[in-house]
Every structure is written in C-alpha cells, then in structure tokens.
Structure 1
Amino acid sequence: MKPQIEIEYCPGCRWLLRAAWTAQELLTTFEAELGAVTLRPSDSSGTFRVTVDEHLLWERKIEGRFPEMKELKQRVRDHIAPERDLGHSDRVERQTDVR
C-alpha cells in the first residue's frame, strides 16, 4: 500500500488554501509514490501539521513557522522515497558574497 499524507489545518485561521496548495504541490511531485493526500480541519486552533502514515513530518507549533515547500518535499522524499532525486529542490543554494 502506498503512503498517505494528511495535512491538518486550522479552519479558524483560514489556512485551507495553504493546505490545499501544499497538497497540490506534494501530489504533483510524488504522484507515483503516494496513495492519497487528505486535508483535515483541526479542532485545535493554530494547527498546521503534515504527517505520512501517522509519522509527523511538520508541525507549525513545534517548528515555529510554516514549511518552505522545498523543505517539506525533502522531508516527504526522505520518508517515502529516499533514493528519489528532487532535481532543483535538492540543489544547495549558493551564498553570494555581498560587499
């Protein structure tokens, strides 16, 4: 059975669109590897949590912020398909020397 992602979000904070966009990005990237991405409104205020088969990948309250999509895709990949190359999302960003 393919892994399933659940995105739990706070409806009171109006985070449905963020959750839906996150789901779209993950489905687009991991279309062959995922069985489903589910959106679930939370009963707890301020929740934005991403799990894969009940394994916590991201919790806004723990991390103190929302995930960057690149970062979340890397965490999903590391959990469901560690051998998978994410292309530009795997590249290390070069720091430019500003003087």
Structure 2
Amino acid sequence: MTSTRSPRIEIEYCTGCRWGLRAGWVAQELLVTFEAELGEVALVPGRQAGVFVVRLDGEAIFDRGRAGRFPELRELKQAIRDRVAPGRSLGHSERAVAVAGSTGEDRGGEEHGG
C-alpha cells in the first residue's frame, strides 16, 4: 500500500525535452528550503510535450505552458511558503524581489553570458 505525505510537491516534466535534471534541481532546492514543512516531493515524468508543472497538494502553482517560461526558483519558494509557512522569511530569496528592477535583473543577464 502506497501512502503520500502532505504537503506534497509534484513536479511534472517533459521527458522528451530532457527536463529531468531541471526538475530534480528544483526538487532538491525545495527540499533544502522546506525540509521541515514538506511531507513529500515527487518527480513525475510527463507524457505531454513541453510540460513543466509544479503542484502543491494537487493545485498547480506554476505551469510553464500558461506562463510561457520556466519558473524562477524565488517565485516557487514564495508561493510554497505562502501556503505551508506563511510567516516564514526566505532570507536572500525574498530580498531578491525587492532588488529586482534595479541591479537584480541586470545580473540575471550576466549569469547567462549576456
């Protein structure tokens, strides 16, 4: 008998696109950040082309198809925090939002060789 622990994060990713490593990295980052709050993090190989959906207890909190891009780790952490640990600070992940628009966005281009 299989049981799931709540809260449960599910990351569905496109296998044909080879997004398993990206999904695994996101899972690892969420486990490190929310080690005390999360019950389970699951990687779900998707059959639909281009799928990359992050769900919390069955509710989609990010869908690449709708957004037209991959999620920023910061926004995933904030969305999950708001649901599982509302009063908790995310430290540098949270401060990055306040900086965005000044030097934060410029640094993003440099990280990608731009």
Fold-level match, TM-score > 0.5?
yes
Look up the match of 1:63: 67
Counterpart residue identity of residue 9, structure 2: I
Which runs of no fewer than 5 residues in structure 2 stay unpaired? 104-114
How far apart are the structure 1 equivalents of 2:84 and 2:63?
A: 18
How far apart are the structure 2 equivalents of 1:40 and 1:32?
A: 22
How far apart are the structure 1 equivalents of 2:58 and 2:85?
A: 16
- Equivalent of residue 32 in structure 1, options 8, 15, 36: 36
- Equivalent of residue 6 in structure 1, options 5, 10, 20: 10
Identity of aligned residues (%): 57
Q: Which has the higher helix share?
A: 2
How far apart are the structure 2 equivalents of 1:35 and 1:72?
A: 17
Counterpart residue identity of residue 80, structure 2: V
1:15 corresponds to 2:19:
yes
TM-score (norm 1): 0.92
Counterpart residue identity of residue 7, structure 2: P
Q: Is the 8 A contact 2:6 2:38 kept in 1?
A: yes
TM-score (norm 2): 0.80
The SS at the match of 1:83 is coil
Counterpart residue identity of residue 99, structure 2: E
Structure scoring higher RCO (CA < 8 A, sep ≥ 6) equals 1
Name the Cα RMSD after superposition.
Answer: 1.2
Size of the aligned set, in residue pairs, is 96
Look up the match of 2:53: 49
- Equivalent of residue 99 in structure 2, options 75, 87, 93: 93
How far apart are the structure 1 equivalents of 2:11 and 2:83?
A: 16
Give, in angstroms, the shift of residue 80 of structure 1. 1.3
1:80 corresponds to 2:84:
yes
How far apart are the structure 1 equivalents of 2:19 and 2:25?
A: 10
